[in-house]
A and B are shown apart, each in its own frame.
Chain A
Amino acid sequence: MNWFHWLANPARFMRFAARLQPWIMALGLLTGAAGLYFGLFASPADYQQGETVRIMYVHVPSAWMAMFIYVVMAAAAGSFLIWKHPLADVAAQAAAPVGAGFTLMALITGALWGQPMWGTWWVWDARLTSVLILFFLYLGYIALVNAFDDPERGSKAGAILLLVGVVNIPIIKFSVDWWNTLHQPASVARMDGPSVDPSMLLPLLLMAGAFKLYFLYLLIVRMRGELTARRIRLLRLSDIA
């Protein structure tokens, strides 16, 4: 837990993060380029889904990011409420719009995949529905955090909401799966038919890595913005006083 406390000083954290930033950028661009090369050119078309399987290389990693970022935010909310870690709340608030962005990406690419494969932009497939609900949870968190005149209140209320949400997500997932098996229309092809071939797994994992690095980079940028905003508020307050 030593590094946990060591990073609790915002100035020290930002210096540390600024040193890491170029490396994250370089590594992210590298994995992203490799992922795009393997995804778009150097991998075979699927025997069932044809060339549209290439959409998977951006769709599935975005959906993974959508869930990953929510879990990261919930963990941050937990350490904010339990240990009062000063940077955890900054991280959760900085990550929320990025998480919502990745969720939106997963939804739109899912629609663009669904149209050629299922013949419709949207089906109430269990996964699509769960991701849509996750999108609502992100928007709710962002709305709650920004709804207070006192930002401290927004932080704490948002953190509690994140923890309530993370407990609920498995229940929502389970109930949507149940609902979907009851209502599953026969015409819709299942997405999880063929197991993933190694030639497809490589671009998938590369893109997932690139997205994670991109998130990390954005997180550092946004955390700097959030910390600056807090200093501005503090200066304003003491200016008035």
Chain B
Amino acid sequence: MKSFLVLVRRDLSLALRQGSDAAMALMFFVIVVTLFPLGVGPEPGVLERISSGIVWVAALLAAMLSLDRLFQADYDDGSLELMLLTPVPLELLVLAKCLAHWLTTGLPMLLIAPLLGIFMNMHTDAFPVLLASMALGTPVLSLLGGVGAALVLGARRAGTLVALLVLPLTIPLLIFGVSAVEAAVTGQSAKAQLLILGAMLMACLPLAPWATAAALRQAAG
């Protein structure tokens, strides 16, 4: 548990010191959403109708942006091999890396989502559900993204490839995330969708680090 926290703290301080990656993903998130009113026109009804989908799609794309960096630096400088040698299970270390990734990309996106909701004319009643769906969904994104990031280590054009691999797998997330917000907008209960998102998180928490660890072992070995 101690090495788990150490690794989270190390990754966080690395991310904060370099600063650019997480900030760029966040900026990308905001800019993509800003492009939509310019593309489809500023009519409030149209924007309100598509707001939940746009925010979710933009979040998926922004999360892809920072993924190829998740293990790349550790792979290049050899820290990955040290992690493999430590007695701590690799799955736990992967979980720590994913947590750090979520804290630097998922959490900021979650916090800024209401602002984008206002941009997109989303009904304010839906904000709690938007936040809840993203709070459950973005960690899944980091966990699934971890699998993709580990698979493409050392590949050519890894940054594009990881998005091609991970995006199809995130479709369930998109569907239930958007559906939860839409239910809240139309005044229905979003409980079912949020429960399913929670179930996905619970399923990904053990399974994704396991697959990621397998991918990391074959990348280093």
CB atoms of A and B under 8 A apart anywhere in the complex?
Answer: yes
Q: Are B175 and A137 in contact (CB under 8 A)?
A: no
Task: Decide: A144 near B171, CB < 8 A? Known: A160-B218, A175-B176, A178-B179.
Answer: no
In the bound complex, residues from chain A placing their C-beta under 8 Å from that of B207 are: 167
**Any A CB within 8 A of the CB of B147:** yes
CA distance in complex: A157, B211 (Å): 10
Within 8 Å by CB of A153, from B157, B169, B179, B219, lies B219
**Any B CB within 8 A of the CB of A136:** yes
Q: Are B156 and A160 in contact (CB under 8 A)?
A: no
List residues 143-201 of chain B with CB under 8 A from any CB of chain A. Answer: 147, 151-152, 154-158, 161, 164-165, 167-169, 171-172, 175-176, 179, 200
In the bound complex, residues from chain B placing their C-beta under 8 Å from that of A163 are: 211
Instruction: Name the residue in A148, A157, A178 with the highest tally of chain B Cβ atoms < 10 Å from its Cβ.
Output: A157
CA distance in complex: A81, B152 (Å): 17
Query: What DSSP secondary structure best describes chain A's contact surface?
Result: helix
Could you pull out 18 A-B pairs where Cβ atoms are within 8 angstroms? A81-B214, A143-B161, A144-B155, A144-B161, A147-B152, A147-B158, A153-B155, A157-B152, A157-B215, A157-B219, A160-B147, A160-B211, A160-B215, A161-B165, A163-B211, A164-B169, A178-B176, A179-B175
- Given A148-B155, A148-B156, A178-B175, 13 additional A-B pairs, CB 8 A: A133-B168, A136-B164, A140-B165, A140-B168, A144-B155, A147-B155, A153-B154, A157-B152, A157-B219, A160-B147, A175-B172, A175-B175, A176-B171
Hey, which bits of chain B sit against chain A, CB under 8 A?
A: 147, 151-152, 154-158, 161, 164-165, 167-169, 171-172, 175-176, 179, 200, 207, 211, 214-215, 218-219
Hey, which bits of chain A sit against chain B, CB under 8 A?
A: 81, 133, 136-137, 139-140, 143-144, 147-150, 153, 156-157, 160-161, 163-165, 167-168, 171-172, 174-176, 178-179, 182
